């Protein structure tokens, strides 16, 4: 199976490092023009350097609806109709697991804003152009936490990722008549960024071994494993697949 995305344009959020960087690089390698976006704009040049000349970078806060619309308008005005959207931006915003009675509304809402509302806003901004071209691929990056429980113990994270899966299924039915597919990749635990590295080391040897023993393949995956799933959903090979959640977790 060969994936060729030549002539396609993709927008990837959260592309400064980790999954987003691997996805942006992977899309560029198979021929797509990529707009790698992140609020961490100091990390984006490295993504572009790895991905090559077909990768362009933009600072973007996915919780800012006007910034998203402005970025989309700029890209489209330059002649790039965005065919592929990868909603990867998210995370726990530096939070750690705490009892529910200690969670402030601000902490709860912040995680929802970046993980769920951000995916809604970017899809909302790109849907009109995809409808006009009668083609689109939207791939949301959730988490195993959205299908079960979160290793972090963060209530908002598990809830927001579960909500993103619901959004995926709903948009698949809403946008399907325009030949727009909407799918979801749910990664297992991967050491992909500073936050996951801190979490891994905080587990200690016993906790790390428990995680590994809960995986059928008895090893952690890589950001490239997640990127490969995205490339499939973005390709013509997945043209009749929509509303689906693919767990990329080594087997649970």
Query: Looking at the annotation, which residues are catalytic?
Result: 157
User: For 188, which DSSP code?
Assistant: -
Rounded CA separation 23/223 (Å): 8
> What is the spatial distance between Cα 141 and Cα 186, in angstroms, rounded to a whole number?
6
Could you give the angle at which helices 18-29 and 44-51 cross, rounded to 10 degrees? 30
Note whether 209 and 215 are within 8 A (CB): no
Contact in structure between 44 and 36 (CB atoms under 8 Å): yes
Helix (H, G, I), strand (E, B) or coil at 183: strand
Q: Which residues fall within 8 angstroms of residue 111, CB to CB, at 6 or more apart? A: 92, 93, 95, 154, 156, 157, 160
DSSP labels for 63-123?
T-HHHHHHHHHHHHHTT----EEEE-----TT-----GGG--HHHHHHHHIIIIIHHHHHH
In Å, how far are 25, 119, 182, 233, 242 from 177, measured between CA atoms? Answer: 30, 20, 12, 18, 12
Residue 106 token pair: 């601000």
Q: Where are the alpha helices (DSSP H) in 140-193?
A: 155-175
């Amino acid at each position: 199976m060969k994936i060729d995305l030549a002539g396609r344009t993709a927008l990837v959020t959260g592309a400064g490092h980790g999954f987003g960087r691997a996805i942006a690089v992977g899309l560029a390698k198979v021929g797509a023009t990529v707009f790698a976006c992140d609020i961490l704009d100091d990390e984006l040049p490295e993504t572009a350097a790895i991905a090559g000349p077909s990768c362009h970078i933009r600072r973007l806060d996915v919780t800012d609806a006007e910034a998203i619309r402005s970025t989309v308008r700029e890209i489209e005005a330059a002649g790039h109709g965005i065919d592929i959207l990868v909603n990867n931006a998210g995370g726990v915003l530096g939070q750690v697991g705490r009892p529910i009675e200690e969670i402030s509304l601000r902490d709860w809402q912040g995680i929802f804003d970046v993980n769920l509302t951000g995916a809604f806003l970017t899809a909302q901004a790109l849907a009109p152009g995809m409808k006009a071209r009668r083609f689109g691929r939207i791939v949301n990056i959730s988490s195993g936490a959205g299908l079960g429980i979160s290793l972090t113990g963060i209530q908002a994270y598990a809830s927001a990722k579960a909500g993103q899966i619901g959004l995926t299924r709903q948009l698949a039915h809403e946008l399907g008549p325009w030949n727009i597919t909407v799918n979801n990749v749910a990664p297992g635990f991967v050491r992909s960024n500073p936050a996951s590295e801190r979490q891994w080391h905080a587990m200690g040897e016993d906790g790390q071994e428990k995680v590994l023993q809960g995986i059928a393949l008895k090893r952690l995956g890589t950001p490239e494993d997640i990127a490969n799933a995205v490339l499939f959903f973005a390709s013509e090979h997945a043209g009749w697949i929509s509303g689906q959640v693919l767990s990329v977790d080594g087997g649970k």
